[in-house]
């Protein structure tokens, strides 16, 4: 790792070998046991982070609720200025933060930089939005009355994020929440705790420079029990959670039990439909990046290729040939395409999926396997695999967070392919490769893809932040990032004002005294 400048990156980001809750000048309370963060890149211990106890959590909530009092009355464009400065800092820290993401999580350095770029993009988006938190005005049914709606800050927003986007998911939530006047408490994945320390250090600088309370941005660390403190807490009106469907169901039920709001970004089972009118070259690039990018650990990763029988062999051969070109290895080395999985538990799930697809009657087209030997000592490097399968296989119905791609065949028209693509429990991302306008429009229509994201001649992953991001069914229904996703971070208030000397009642009701 030293040859890739990891030591310098950690130093720049203020991430230490031992990160104790009491050792920083920042407003971070952690007196629990420690989590050790090992890099999947080389298996080395990068550092430890002290966890949050229930008593620490109370201190965090005190800091957050106190900060909310200051922050909610600050004019929104002034809050936008804070987010603008945060975006500037991210530009400054882009390289070290991208490196830390790559080293702690295992995605390629290019994708690590891309993740920080998404943070910068959402900051820019949020700055503009800070002057556009519009409500509607309505015409009252009563004479001399006026109606309008306002969006007000909500309070403490809880953020639970996953290891696969260890920094960007936090920023999609915080950048919007902050311009909306909310304060944030973040529980990062215990698999990538150092990324949370780095991010906290960056925002702490901005808050300090602006004389703002650091409680505007809080982190809590630990396992799911720490997250539970937040999901059960009525002082947290919104919990935004990214992760598995299993986790999402628990979060949703707990938060709903106290009538809080949740924003869920859960699993995907994303497919690319390849029709007879597809551009094969584009299909190969989209499919291969979609399936092996981030080693198949994006919620938007391509898991299924639904290919028309007339071009099936051609597409299959081209994709298999492309897999032969993939270089697997240290993700900080820019010659490599594919880095490691997050840990050996993920490797076990990958192995299990490959066994299961065969057991269910599938055929392996590109052999998988765990890599060993020099450079692969962490035991987390696996070969991206391809299997021919059926949509009905239970393993195909399941999201395996690894580079396993299933090829499925269809023989009828595009509607048959759309039905296959929709026939899974998840509904995040989807794509069609076609130059046929009728097929493309059918896919995008109400009779088409049932996913939150539907693309034409683009793969399933790599959404831009300007659109609302999220999906239907077991994906959880939440929307983050662009469009009007900000509304979930605010409470809506309807105001009716009477500027006459009479008090007429709505609906024409007579009530004479
Ligand atoms: C995720 O995997 O949790 O669309 C998010 C994409 C990225 C976001 C992925 N912009 O692939």
What residue ranges of the chain have pLDDT lower than 50?
A: 25
- pLDDT of amino acid 22: 66
Distance (angstroms) between ligand 1 centre and the Cα of 459 equals 12
Structure tokens at 71: 């922050």
What pLDDT was estimated at residue 3? Answer: 83
> Which H or E element spans position 431?
strand 429-433
DSSP letter, residue 328:
B
The per-residue DSSP string of 362-417 comes to -EEEE---B--STT-TTS--B--EEEE--TTSHHHHS--SSSEEEEEEE-S-HHHH
Q: Dihedral sign for Cα 484, 488, 490, 491, please.
A: positive
Cα(443)–Cα(453) distance, integer angstroms: 11
66/207 Cα distance (integer angstroms): 15
Asked if residues 146 and 137 have their Cβ atoms less than 8 Å apart, the reply is yes
Per-residue pLDDT at 209? 97
Instruction: Indicate whether residue 161 lines ligand 1 (CB < 6 A).
Output: no
Q: How far is the CA of 511 from the centre of ligand 1 (A)?
A: 57
pLDDT at residue 92, rounded to an integer: 98
pTM over 0.95: yes
Enter the tokens of residue 278: 């597809």
Ligand 1 contact, 165 CB (< 6 A): yes
Could you give the CA distance from residue 381 to residue 341 in angstroms, rounded to a whole number?
6
Asked about 265 being catalytic, the answer comes back as yes
The finding on whether 461 has its CB within 6 A of some atom of ligand 1 is yes
Q: Name the residue of 105, 165, 270 whose CB sits within 8 Å of the most ligand 1 atoms, as the mutation to test its pocket.
A: 165
Angle between helices 76-92 and 94-105 (to 10 degrees): 70
Please state the φ and ψ torsions of residue 30, each to the nearest 5 degrees. -155, 115
Residue 219 has phi, psi (to 5 degrees) of -120, 145
Q: What is the pLDDT of residue 20?
A: 85
Q: Cβ contacts of residue 224 below 8 Å, gap of 6+?
A: 247
Residue nearest to atom 7 of ligand 1 (CA): 462
Distance 361 CA to ligand 1 centre (A): 31
End-to-end C-alpha distance for the chain, whole angstroms: 82
Q: Is 504 in the pocket of ligand 1 (CB under 6 A)?
A: no
Interface pTM, i.e. ipTM = 0.97
Q: Is the CB of 242 under 6 A from ligand 1?
A: yes
C-alpha of residue 473 to centroid of ligand 1, in Å: 17
Is there an atom of ligand 1 within 6 Å of 240 CB?
no
């Amino acid at each position: 790792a030293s040859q890739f400048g990891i030591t310098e990156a950690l130093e720049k980001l203020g991430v230490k070998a031992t990160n104790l809750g009491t050792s920083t000048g920042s407003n971070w309370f952690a007196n629990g046991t420690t989590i050790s963060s090992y890099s999947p890149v080389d298996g080395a211990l990068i550092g430890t982070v002290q966890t949050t106890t229930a008593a620490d959590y109370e201190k965090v909530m005190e800091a957050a609720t106190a900060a909310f009092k200051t922050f909610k009355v600050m004019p929104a464009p002034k809050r936008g200025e804070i987010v603008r400065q945060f975006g500037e800092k991210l530009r400054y820290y882009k390289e070290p933060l991208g490196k830390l993401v790559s080293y702690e999580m295992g995605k390629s350095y290019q994708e690590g930089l891309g993740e920080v770029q998404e943070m910068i993009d959402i900051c820019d988006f949020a700055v503009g939005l800070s002057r556009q938190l519009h409500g509607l005005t309505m015409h009252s049914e009563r004479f001399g009355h006026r109606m309008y709606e306002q969006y007000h800050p909500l309070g403490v927003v809880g953020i639970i994020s996953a290891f696969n986007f260890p920094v960007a998911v936090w920023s999609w939530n915080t950048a919007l929440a902050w311009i909306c006047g909310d304060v944030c408490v973040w529980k990062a994945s215990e698999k990538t705790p150092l990324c949370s320390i780095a991010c906290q250090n960056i925002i702490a600088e901005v808050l300090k420079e602006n004389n703002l309370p650091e409680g505007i941005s809080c982190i809590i660390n630990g396992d799911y029990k720490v997250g539970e403190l937040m999901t059960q807490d009525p002082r947290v009106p919104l919990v935004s959670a990214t992760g598995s469907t299993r986790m999402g169901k628990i979060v949703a039920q707990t938060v709903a039990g106290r009538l809080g709001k949740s924003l869920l970004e859960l699993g995907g089972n994303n497919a690319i439909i390849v029709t007879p009118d597809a551009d094969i070259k584009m299909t190969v690039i989209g499919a291969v990046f979609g399936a092996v990018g981030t080693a198949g650990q994006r919620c938007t990763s391509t898991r299924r290729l639904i290919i028309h029988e007339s071009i099936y062999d051609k597409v299959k051969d081209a994709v298999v040939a492309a897999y032969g070109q993939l270089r697997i290895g240290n993700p900080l080395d820019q010659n490599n395409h594919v880095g490691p999985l997050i840990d050996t538990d993920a490797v076990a799930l990958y192995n299990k999926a490959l066994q299961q697809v065969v057991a269910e009657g599938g055929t392996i087209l590109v052999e998988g396997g765990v890599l060993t030997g020099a450079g692969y000592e962490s035991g987390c490097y696996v070969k991206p695999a391809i299997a021919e399968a059926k949509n009905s296989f239970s393993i195909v119905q399941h999201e395996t967070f690894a580079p396993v791609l299933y090829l499925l065949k269809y023989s009828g028209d595009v509607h048959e392919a759309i039905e296959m693509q929709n026939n899974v429990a998840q509904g995040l991302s989807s794509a069609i490769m076609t130059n046929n306008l009728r097929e493309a429009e059918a896919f995008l229509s109400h009779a088409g893809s049932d996913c939150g994201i539907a693309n034409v001649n683009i793969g399933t992953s790599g959404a831009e932040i300007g659109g609302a991001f999220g999906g239907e069914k077991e994906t959880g229904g939440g929307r983050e990032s662009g469009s009007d996703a900000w509304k979930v971070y605010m409470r809506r208030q309807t105001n009716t004002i009477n500027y006459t000397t009479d008090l007429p009642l709505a609906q024409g009701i007579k009530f004479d005294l």
